[in-house]
Homo-oligomer: A and B are copies of this chain.
Amino acid sequence: MKKILQIISDAPLFNGLSEEQLNDVRQISVDKFCDKGKTIFLEGDDCNGFYIVADGKVKIYKVSFEGKEHILHIYGPGNPFGEVPVFAGRKFPANAQTLLKSHLLFFPRTAFVDLISKNPSLALNMLGVLSMRLRQFTVQIENLSLKEVPGRLASYLVYLSQEQGRTDVVALNISKGQLASLLGTIPETLSRILTKMNQHHLIDTSGRDIILKDLGGLKDLAEHGKLQ
């Protein structure tokens, strides 16, 4: 399966590793094929390894006592997830579920730790990946505590625009309900804000595509946080 080696070498975590090191990584990885909606792990489960998305999409989420779900992250091809408890402890701190039929690579804990302690460059890559995650979390906390929902949505749209390299239109790729959860709000509120942004000529919605009519205005809103 040379496709898998390709996936591994494309993942940021394994960037710049030698052919031999990549082969070592391949050796310890286990393929998992999952249907849409499959639970990969639940909060509190023992962690005996972590995953990389080879294909498909996975959501990482928490559930409140009342059953309200908050999505922390949505990961696609090349992204690792569940790597935190590999180094921090034994339990997963959140739930993971596939959003699409997915192909995952599983890396058993002990084998990976062995590998990392023999490969300083792999260790440094891993440190880089974790640090990027921390930076993203910092942004997310900033958004949640400093900004109102319109500001958070604007931030997200600006982020998508950079991610997708387009200034005219972005694709959501997830349902608006899921987006609401990712932004720490509920579908009703998100829907109202999208309508308001429409009225303010900031965007135009067309299904899961959002036409950016005033990217400057959105950036402004993302920084200053007030709509209207």
Residues of A within 8 A of B (CB): 62, 64-66, 68, 70, 72, 83-89, 93-94, 113, 116-118, 120-121, 123-124, 126-128, 130-135, 137-142, 144-147, 184, 223-225
Contacts and interface: CB of A to CB of B under 8 A. Distances in A.
A134 B132 contact: no
Contacts of A138: 62, 72, 84, 93-94, 137
Nearest to A127: B87
A64 B153 CA distance: 16
Contacts of A113: 124
Interface of A is mostly: helix
B225 A65 contact: yes
A146 B85 contact: no
A132 B88 CA distance: 5
B131 A121 contact: no
B135 A88 contact: yes
B184 A131 contact: no
Given A64-B146, A141-B141, A124 B117 contact: yes
A73 to B, nearest CB: 10
Contact of A87 (B131, B140, B141): B131
Contacts of A133: 134
